[in-house]
A = this chain, B = another copy of it.
Amino acid sequence: MLTVGVIGTGMIGQDHLRRITRVLAGATVTAVTDVDADLAKRVAEGLPGAVVHQTGEELIADPAVDAVVVCSWGPTHEQYVLAAIAAGKQVFCEKPLATTEEACRRIVAAEVAAGRRLVQVGYMRRYDAAYRALKAAIESGEIGNPLMMHCAHRNAGVPGFYEKESIITDTAVHEIDMVRWMFGEEISSARVLVPRKNRNGGDLQDPLLLILQTEGGALIDVELSVNIRYGYDIRGEVVGEDGTASLGSQSPVVVRGGGRVASPVPLDWRERFARAYDVELQEWIDSVASGGSPTGPSTWDGYAAAVVSDAAVEALRSGSLVAVSLMERPALYEVVA
Contact = CB atoms under 8 A, between A and B. Distances in A.
A259 B264 CA distance: 6
A178 interface: no
Interface in A246-262: 246-262
A148 interface: yes
Number of copies of chain A assembled together: 4
A246 B264 CA distance: 12
Contact of A22 (B25, B213, B253, B255): B25
A4 to B, nearest CB: 13
B199 A211 contact: no
A78 to B, nearest CB: 31
Given A26-B22, A258-B230, A258-B243, A253 B134 contact: yes
A225 B245 contact: no
Contact of A130 (B133, B253, B261, B282): B253
Interface in A3-37: 20-26
Interface stretch (A57-65, A104-112, A189-197): A189-197
A13 to B, nearest CB: 17
A229 B242 contact: yes
A47 interface: no
Contacts of A209: 148, 211, 219, 221
Interface stretch (A80-88, A137-145, A325-333): A137-145
Residue among A21, A129, A198, A230 with max Cβ neighbours from chain B (10 Å): A230
Nearest to A247: B253
Contacts of A218: 195-196
Contacts of A21: 25
B260 A264 contact: yes
Contacts of A199: 144-145, 241
A146 to B, nearest CB: 9
Contacts of A137: 253, 255
6 contacts: A130-B252, A134-B252, A144-B199, A147-B196, A150-B152, A249-B261
